[in-house]
Amino acid sequence: MAEEKALTPRSEDFSAWYNGVVQRSELAGYSPVRGCMVIRPHGYAIWELMQRALDEMFKATGHQNAYFPLFVPESFLKKEAEHVEGFAPEIALVTRGGGKELEEPLVIRPTSEAIIWPIMADWIQSYRDLPMLINQWANIVRWEMRTRPFLRTLEFLWQEGHTAHATWDDAQRETLLILGLYRKFMEEWMAMPPVTGIKTEWDKFAGADRTYACEAMMQDNWALQAGTSHNLGQNFARAFDVKYQTEEGEHEYVWSTSWGVSTRLVGGLVMTHSDDLGLVLPPKLAPIQVVIVPIWKSEDEKVRVLEAGAQLKSTLEGEIRVKFDDRDTLNPGAKYYEWEEKGVPIRLEIGPKDLEKRQVMAVLRSSADAKRRKLPIPAGDVAARVPDLLDQMQQGLLDAALRRREESSYRGVTDYEEFKKIMSTGGGFIYTGYCGAEECETKVKDDTKATIRVVPDEDFGSETVPDTCICGGAAQHEVVWARAY
RNA sequence: CGGGGCGUGGCGCAGUCCGGUAGCGCGCCUGCUUUGGGAGCAGGAGGUCCCCGGUUCGAAUCCGGGCGCCCCGACCA
């Protein structure tokens, strides 16, 4: 019985395991449309918690939300040369509407620069209007060839920030501010610590001067690009004629940025923490943080246990997202499996024996051997202990993720044979010196499937960087290599 | 777009080779008994067998064509 219901083990087939976790925990389902997914209530609830946390960070740093159209006139997209070129292959185009052929086809936004800048251009007149700090929560469409739930779908949800500044320095400061917020969010909320850094010239966002990214390591040692922040320079300002009048009365192009994270983060969350029992969620992003499961035999016990459970729920409610699972159609064991599969951090069992001892039995989801690790808590202490336990679990997940990342990080690699050996036996993040040539990366990619993720920021760079590249040439700076989603 | 797999009740599958009018497990509904790690028994509902055409007395099964989805690669957040 238990055998049949078990997930494909993570160690056996990571991809099948991932799909299984997503399906079984009811985060998402497939749809009648190829490459599109349905985000189910449990998955959407996680996204809402992410949205709330990020939105507060954006607002606290002076950003405002707005909403721009889904449709972008095709001609708008074509105004920034690199931008069109970059997105051309993945564009979905509407050519008919109201039963008629449209005069000008409408692109379904793959990102909103091309519709936002013509509009923001009108909002920006004077240096007094700057900086202009706008964010929008939206869906976008990119026609990908190969899709996977949350990680890559034709349509996905994200936030995209778009800001305008008076100077390059201001735009750069904004770009790094957001990169920092993303990092903070991923560490403190997701317990998914990223390596941050700058992308190579050829890996930049189409139309950007500089692209920074957060790269997180998944449990299969692949990298997930989890957030990007771009300094767009004056490229879009020139393309869309976004000028402001300076204090001296001169007309200047603004300097702009854009940045985003998407529902891909949910996939990252799954691949960072989950195990063979199913989803594991960091408490801060768990839609249900505590589930109370009552246990009874006789009718009399049922009455008493249900009352105690309801009371326990009301004690925790308010501070904690708590669910009292009082269904009488499932036995307790079935409920345990269900909530473990869905990643609920703490289960509180309450039965006749607990009532007798004036206690509840807590079981923590993050411990791999959940079945054996029961922790009795005196009834009077539950309200105080639960928040502490949640905090400890949150920290424990971050510590574990950091440990995994460091265990699979290799610094100062200079020998290409060693590099290939690491990539072919488990993989990970490999820090090396780099000559700067695109062909060098291409060869490595052909040989090992690994690519340059970023030039690491100061916080992540090695103390000493080899002066030779793995190709044997002279190194200009350090890079981080990994196989990536 | 290449390679592979698959399309049969809500889900997972058997049946296809060798044609005879559809079955199993899970889930769902009703009732009773259960409940400290995926409950038991009894009864019940639910299917254009992906689509179109052909062969045949007869097609889930054979033949031809089409469509779709999943997985693995090349491109990408």
pLDDT at residue A143, as a whole number: 86
Show the tokens assigned to A361: 């039995």
CATH fold of the domain at A409-482: Translation Initiation Factor IF3 (3.30.110)
Q: Where are the domains of chain A?
A: 2-273, 283-392, 409-482
Query: Which bases in strand B are touched by protein, i.e. have an atom under 7 Å from a CB?
Result: 1, 25, 28-29, 34-39, 68-77
Residue A399 and residue A389 in contact, taking contact as beta carbons nearer than 8 Å? no
- State which residues between 140 and 159 of chain A bring their CB within 7 Å of strand B: 142, 144-148, 151-154, 156
Question: If you write DSSP's letter for every residue of A451-470 in order, what string do you get?
Answer: EEEEEE-TTTS-SS--SBBT
Mark the ranges of chain A whose per-residue pLDDT is less than 70: 1-4, 367-372
At A86 the pLDDT is 87
SS3 A310: helix
Residues forming beta bridges with residue A107, ordered by sequence position: A72, A93
Of A254, A256, A236, nearest in space to A245 by CA: A254
Query: What pLDDT was estimated at residue A29?
Result: 81
**A3 CB-near residues (< 8 Å, 6+ apart):** none
pLDDT in tens, A165-216: 999 999 999 999 999 999 999 999 999 999 999 999 999 999 999 999 999 9
pLDDT score recorded for residue A232: 96
Nucleotide nearest to A110 (CA to C1'): B77
Residue pointed to by tokens 């009834």: A379
Domain A2-273, CATH number (from 3.30.930.10, 3.40.50.720, 3.10.180.10, 2.60.40.2470): 3.30.930.10
pLDDT of A2: 41
Q: Which two tokens stand for residue A132?
A: 């202009």
A353: the nucleotide nearest its CA (via C1') is B36
> Can you give the pLDDT at residue A187?
98
Give the type of residue at A42: H
Nucleic strand B contacts from chain A, 20-49, CB < 7 Å:
30, 33-35
CATH topology of domain A283-392: Rossmann fold (3.40.50)
Q: Is any atom of strand B within 7 angstroms of residue A15's beta carbon?
A: yes
Token representation of residue A72? 């972008």
pLDDT value, residue A258: 97
In angstroms, how far is B48 C1' from A174 CA? Answer: 59
Q: Please check whether residue A168 is in contact with residue A130, taking contact to mean a CB–CB distance below 8 angstroms.
A: no
Interatomic separation, CA of residue A31 and C1' of nucleotide B20, rounded (Å): 38
